[in-house]
Amino acid sequence: MPATPFVYRKILGPWALYVELTATAEESADDAASAPHGTRRISDRVSLAVLDQAATPEDVHHLEAGLRRVADAIEAARDGRPVVIRVTALDYMPTDYQPEAAAAAAAGWAAREFGFPPPPIDVTFDRSTGYTLTWPAGS
């Protein structure tokens, strides 16, 4: 399956959140021993491999968090078959970037890729603190 891009963009106030995530979903072996080095387990059937060498540990943390929010939906869409999500590129404007937006991009990419509704994310903006992303309970 070819890698597909997904853009998460939210504009409030004078700045915008913008992240372009490019990833692919591939069949995965069921056991952790056969997973490629650096693959992170998100749930029993969903794993993440971040191949973009420019991704920071904080970026990876937020990609994991976004996929955890939708892991049950991914598993349901795949009828429980294991999958590894390989992030090949994570692009953003470094001057305006908030890493929490990577979580929203990961969840949005997965929703589109696996055909389920994207989870609701409340976004607010405060000039002194920037953007705040809140995932409502149950999402």
CATH number at residue 80: 3.30.230
On whether the CB atoms of residues 92 and 101 are closer than 8 A, the answer is: yes
In a domain, 139, yes or no: no
The 10s digit of each residue's pLDDT in 75-89 is 999 998 999 999 999
Answer yes or no: is pLDDT of 35 > 70.
no
In a domain, 111, yes or no: yes
* Contacts of the segment 7-13: beta carbons below 8 A, 24+ positions apart: 7/105, 8/101, 8/104, 8/105, 8/108, 10/101, 10/104, 10/123, 10/131, 12/123, 12/124, 12/125, 12/131, 13/125, 13/127
Q: Report how many domains make up the chain.
A: 1
Q: Report the predicted TM-score, pTM, of the whole model to 2 decimal places.
A: 0.91
In a domain, 73, yes or no: yes
If you average pLDDT over residues 124-132, what whole number do you get? Answer: 85
Tokens of 8: 């998460």
In a domain, 28, yes or no: yes
The 10s digit of each residue's pLDDT in 16-28 is 889 999 999 998 8
If you average pLDDT over residues 42-56, what whole number do you get? Answer: 93
- Domain carrying residue 119: 4-134
If you average pLDDT over residues 3-21, what whole number do you get? Answer: 89
